[in-house]
Amino acid sequence: MTQLLFIPGSLREASSSRATVRALVSRLEAGVTCQVADPGLLPHYNADLDKDPAVERFLADVAAADGVVFVTPEYNYSVPGLLKNAIDWASRPAYNSVFKDKPCFIVSVSGGALGGVRAQAHLKYILNGMLARPFTCQEIVIPQANAKVADGHLADEAILDFAELNLKAFIASL
Ligand SMILES: Cc1cc2nc3c(=O)[nH]c(=O)nc-3n(C[C@H](O)[C@H](O)[C@H](O)COP(=O)(O)O)c2cc1C
């Protein structure tokens, strides 16, 4: 049974990232276990808090996952602080963390026209620095994403079809 950990980069109720996570989880067949992390439970990075239960749980979840799926918006041309904080927690010890050799899949969203492609590039750079393994495929970007969310659903079947196709290729590679 393949186990995926989804990490959304936004906390808000009507988040397009979270709506995308829900849509992708609902499209995966039996045989894949999907868990969704809550990066909002993590304290700001502080090495003195490494026994915090939320931190321990998050690191254990990353370690247990066969693959990690990031679905994140772009904030100020980069990765939101929320997501960077979660990644920082799971990045120690350097070069030998739970992210070492971890297969990762990235979807980015934005309210604008570029779909968070700059955040996506930064995220790949960060993952490479942790010796993680970002999956190589055509970039999955969802532009004008917040305008596409109604009642918690992302109304863009074409991009969801494309994301699903690539996510299934990622799963097959695990
Ligand atoms: C602090 C902040 C910074 C943002 N910076 C960018 C940006 O650099 N590029 C962009 O395309 N959108 C930017 N946006 C707009 C987000 O892409 C948009 O709000 C998106 O819907 C957020 O994702 P969510 O729907 O998952 O919450 C920013 C939004 C916020 C709140």
Domains present along the chain, CATH in parentheses: 2-172 (3.40.50.360)
Q: Which helix (H) or strand (E) holds 103?
A: strand 103-109
In the chain, % of residues over pLDDT 70: 100
Q: Give the count of alpha carbons within 13 A of 50, CB side only.
A: 8
Length of the chain: 174
| Rounded-to-integer distance, Cα 126 and Cα 81, Å | 13
Arithmetic mean of pLDDT over the chain: 97
Note the pLDDT tens digit of each residue in 113-140: 999 999 999 999 999 999 999 999 999 9
Three-state DSSP state, 56: helix
Confidence of residue 86 (pLDDT cuts 50, 70, 90): very high
The predicted pLDDT at position 140 comes to: 98
- Residues 129, 42: contact at Cβ < 8 Å? no
| Rounded-to-integer distance, Cα 127 and Cα 99, Å | 8
The predicted pLDDT at position 119 comes to: 98
Q: Is 16 in the pocket of ligand 1 (CB under 6 A)?
A: yes
Q: Is 20 in the pocket of ligand 1 (CB under 6 A)?
A: no
Residue 30 has pLDDT above 90, yes or no: no
Ligand 1 midpoint to CA 110 (Å): 5
- Residues 111, 147: contact at Cβ < 8 Å? yes
Ligand 1 midpoint to CA 111 (Å): 6
In the chain, % of residues over pLDDT 90: 98
Confidence of residue 31 (pLDDT cuts 50, 70, 90): confident
The predicted pLDDT at position 53 comes to: 98
Confidence of residue 171 (pLDDT cuts 50, 70, 90): very high
Q: Is 120 in the pocket of ligand 1 (CB under 6 A)?
A: no
- Residues 62, 35: contact at Cβ < 8 Å? no
Residue identifier of the C-alpha nearest atom 6 of ligand 1:
75
Note the pLDDT tens digit of each residue in 44-82: 999 999 999 999 999 999 999 999 999 999 999 999 999
- Residues 143, 114: contact at Cβ < 8 Å? yes
| Rounded-to-integer distance, Cα 65 and Cα 155, Å | 29
